[in-house]
Structures are given as C-alpha cells and as structure tokens.
Structure 1
Amino acid sequence: MGLSKAMMPVPDPHPDVFDVEWPLRVADVDREGRLKFDAATRHIQDVGSDQLREMGFEETHPLWIVRRTMIDLIEPILFKDMLRMRRWCSGTSNRWCDMRVRIDGRKGGLMESEAFWININRETQGPARISDDFLSGLHRTTDVNRLRWKAYLKAGSREDAEHVREYPVRTSDIDIFDHMNNSVYWSVIEDFLYAHPELMAAPLRVTIEHDLPVALGDRLEIIRHVHPAGSTEQFGADLSDRTVTTLTYAVGDETKAVAAIFPL
C-alpha cells in the first residue's frame, strides 16, 4: 500500500470490465504529440460517466467526488492513435470505491490509473451509501470490500519550499459543481514536467490527493518541495532510493490538494 502500491492487473477478459475506444485528438496532446496527464484525467472522468450510464445507475448515483488519483505513465501514447480504455472496480466500501482505468494506444503506449471515488448525497453533499445492487456489480471484479481511506501525502510549508508560485484560476477551470475541475490540477503537473523533461525519460508515477475544492477567485499557490533519494522514508521504504517531488496546492493557510511525482 501507499505511494508505491501495485495496481491491480486488468481482469481481461471479463464481462464486467467496461471497454471502450475513441481517438486521441489534437487538444489531448503536448507539442511532442504525447497524451497529457490533464487530458488523460478528462478521459478517465468521461469513461467513468459512460460506465455509470451503461450500468444503469446514472440517475440513482449521479454525484461522485475524487479523493485521490494515481496515474502511471509507462510509455507515451502519441497523436492520432486510438485509445482503448478499460475500467473496473478494484476495491469497495459502503460509500466509496477504487476504480482502475487502463489506457492503451493501439499503436503502443500505456497509462495506468486508479482513483478513489466517494459517492455523494445530492441533498446533504456528504458521503452516501452505495446501493446493494450497485455494489454487487462492482464486486464482480474485486474481492476487496472493506476499502478504507488513508492519506499518502502531507502538505508542504512555504517556509522551507524550493519554489512557490501563483497559479491563476480561470473561469474556464470551473465546472458544474462550481469548483476547479479535477483535470485542471493535472495541468499544474504538465507545467512542472515541461520544466523537468528528464523525468519523462523513464516510467513515471504521479498521485494527487484532494482535500478541499478550489473556487473561482481563490488565490491558488503551488508550493514545491524536492525530497532527494535517501531522505524519502516518509513516503515508504520502497521509495527511499529515489527523489520524490511534492506540490502543495494552497489558498492562504488552507491546503487544497497535494501531489507527488517520482520515477517508477
């Protein structure tokens, strides 16, 4: 478990793995033609909505928030390829679940992801119980039925940061729930990787944990810390041999999210 956890392999073939394809388009890629993390996150959101509709629970379970998303870039998927996305459940509890999405390029390339999703009650805006019939469908691809939340990351302070910068929140970043959409947090990751291309030379894992929403008008700052190899026991023994970079998304004294970036 923790940041170095092994993701569940795709149970393929399996009738309860949602399996779809669509083309990789120009708005999804960077200047080198690579499927970007923020675009991949939009696809992960969209395929989740499509699976919810396919399962017949779009009306009864319409609201979900993501608490953590972990994405592995194993091999870049390149422009004009066809994306194959397979989505299935890798763990459940009564109110939340882990959902895996594997993104393959038909010509090559691979991104793996796992996200911790919380079912939300429309009226109370708090966690809500997932119906028994919905759970029974999720259980067909996993035997993990006592999934618990445990944060892997802690916020970094401004005082000992390597770098602090403001990230302007735009009107176009705000979604139907009146806060910054999940995919925009991954645009920050793309900005960081552009300045550190050496990290793209090997498979890479990026994890973002969300604490509080970002609203329009917030003065969002990105606080960066670099933890060199040998100083990273805080992230687990498996990561003590590599550098881990963290980005804290903060508005004033409030931590909105924390990201971790390291080579696999």
Structure 2
Amino acid sequence: MTQGLAKTMMPVPDPHPDVFDVQWPLRVADVDREGRLKFDAATRHIQDVGTDQLREMGFEETHPLWIVRRTMIDMIEPILFKDMLRLRRWCSGTSNRWCEMRVRIDGRKGGLVESEAFWININRETQGPARIADDFIEGLRRTTTESRLRWKAYLSSGEREGAEHIRDYPVRVSDIDIFDHMNNSVYWSVVEDFLQSRPELLKAPLRVTIEHDLPVALGDKLEILRHTYPAGSTEKFGAALADRTVTTLTYAVGDEVKAVAAIFAL
C-alpha cells in the first residue's frame, strides 16, 4: 500500500460495530458561492464528529485534549448545499500517545469527502503528549491492525526567497479557539482562498494535506508563502507524485514556520 503524501487511505470497514456513524444536514455556512462543501467547513465537521465519538465511547472527561498534527482531505466529488451528510469515523492506526483517525463524509444525494488525521493526546498539566488509557486503545484497535504508528512528516516548508507569491493573513479574534491559538479549520480557509484563484482544480478529485508544526497566536503577523512545483520538476514529494503539479502553502510568522499545506490533483 502506498504511503506518504500519495498514501492510499484505509477503506471504511463497513459494516463494523466500532465505526462511529452519524448524520446531520449541510448548512449555509458550510458552502461556497456554488453551494460546495468547503474544505474549512469539512474540517469543522471532522472535528465535531471526533468530539461526538469521544463522548460516545465514554472518554470525553479522561481524554479531553487533543491536537492535530496532520490532516489529509480528499475532495473526491463535491457535496452540495441542502444535502444530508453521513459521517463515519474509525481508527486506522494507533500508538500509546497518538492515533490516526479516518472520517468518510458522504452526501445522501451524492458527493464524497475522505479524510485522515493524526491526533496527539495531550496532558492537561504538562501540555505534552500523554499516554492513552489501555481500555481506550483497546476500543480504537478494533478497526485497525496498525499498533505501532509513528510520526513522519510528509512536507517541508518553502523558502521565502523562492516564493512565487507572499501575502499577509490577518489573524482575527474569531479565529482563536479554546486553546488560545488559531483553530485548525482556519488553516483550511487559506486553502479555500487559494482555490478561488484556481477553480479548475475543483473540477476533478483533489487532495489537500496540512501539517502543523507550531501554533499561531492572536497578534502574530502571519504570512502565506506559495510555491508551485510543475509536473516532472521534482521528487521531493515522493516518486509517486513526480508526474503531478504540486502547490505548497507555507504558513510563516517571520522566520518561524507554523504549518505547511500541499495541494494536488488525485
């Protein structure tokens, strides 16, 4: 099975009693001008279904704090306004302090979004990675055989000097979440801004991956550095993507890289 940025996501083990399965409507704040479920809205749904599953499993009080290190989203077919969303969530890999969680979003009338996120359990006092309780891990492992999950970055930042475009991204008070940093979904608003200038990318299946290195705080002067790597120009994203055009967005505050996104057609 292909790994890295071109990885093949684990298919949904359906039917399976440990796949969390819920439905709710797609609402007006979730869609763009064409009525398409946006990437930032999809990310909010992915966060929300994770909270709901944590509560359903009975670990919301003992494991309340999680940070996402990487999220990969495949927009296979657009889901459109007024549709009903079916969200299925399950574990695709575990370790004793983190896990990878898959979320599949289907529209009742059509449309499909696939995602996988690398989540780290956080200790409330130390703010560092914390061990996941044995009974929690036991439940997660019912949908996966991967029990030695390790972190490996797929992306590297683009240099300021070689950027084809640099722009400011003002951080608003409304972007800050309960952890006092810019919420994960806001990074995906930057992706949506880019896609407005490249609407042709939305006419076919598209993969977007964001890796987070450091949090963005209110008052930070956030800049977005854009680089485009034409097909055949590099193998920095792996041999499987050497024939694809890949665009990266580097989220930077001064010389400090906060996150990196990669965008390419599937």
Question: Could you say which residue in structure 2 is the equivalent of 1:159?
Answer: 161
- CA distance, structure 2, for counterparts of residue 126 and residue 200 of structure 1: 38
Structure 2 spans left out of the alignment, 5+ residues: none
Alpha-carbon deviations, 1:92-120, whole Å to 9, x = none?
A: 00100000000000000000000000000
Question: Structure 1: which amino acid aligns with 2:251?
Answer: Y
The letter for the 2-side match of 1:47 is: V
Distance between the aligned counterparts of 1:162 and 1:249, measured in 2?
14
Q: Displaced runs of 4+ in structure 1, greater than 6 A? A: none
Residue matched to 1:107: 109
Per-residue deviation, 1:241: 0.6
CA distance in 2, matches of 1:92, 1:132: 12
- Of the three residues 64, 67, 74, the one matched with 1:65 is 67
Residues 107-256 of structure 1: matches in 2 within 5 Å? 107-256=109-258
SS at the partner of 1:232?
A: coil
Calculate the TM-score normalised by the size of structure 2.
0.99
Post-superposition offset of 1:198? 1.1
Shift of 1:232: 3.0
Separation of aligned partners in 2, 1:232 and 1:211? 23
Question: What is the identity, as a one-letter code, of the residue corresponding to 2:88?
Answer: R
Deviates more, 1:136-145 or 1:227-236: 227-236
**TM-score normalised by the chain length of structure 1:** 1.00
Could you say what secondary structure the match of 1:235 adopts? coil
Match of 2:80 in 1: 78
In 2, the alpha carbon distance for the partners of 1:210 and 1:87 equals: 22
1:157-209 superposed Cα distances (whole Å, 9 cap, x missing partner): 11010000000000000001000000000000000001100111110000000
Which one-letter code corresponds to 1:8 in the other structure? M
1:53 to 49, 52, 55: 55
Unpaired runs of 5+ residues, structure 1, are none
8 Å CA contact 1:67–1:210 kept in 2: the answer is: yes
The corresponding residue for 1:91 is 93
Instruction: Name the CA distance, whole Å, in 1 between partners of 2:85 and 2:215.
Output: 30
Q: Name the CA distance, whole Å, in 2 between partners of 1:203 and 1:231.
A: 22
How far apart, CA to CA, are the structure 1 residues paired with 2:93 and 2:209? 18
Question: 1:10-48: CA deviations, max 9, x gaps?
Answer: 000000000000000000000000000000000000000
Matched-pair contact (CA < 8 Å) for 1:219–1:251: yes
Distance in 1 (alpha carbons) for counterparts of 2:233 and 2:122: 38
Aligned equivalents of 1:188, 1:137: Cα separation in 2: 35
Mapped to 2, the partners of 1:120 and 1:54 lie a distance apart of 19
Q: Hey, what's the Cα distance between the residues in 1 that align with 2:92 and 2:192?
A: 27
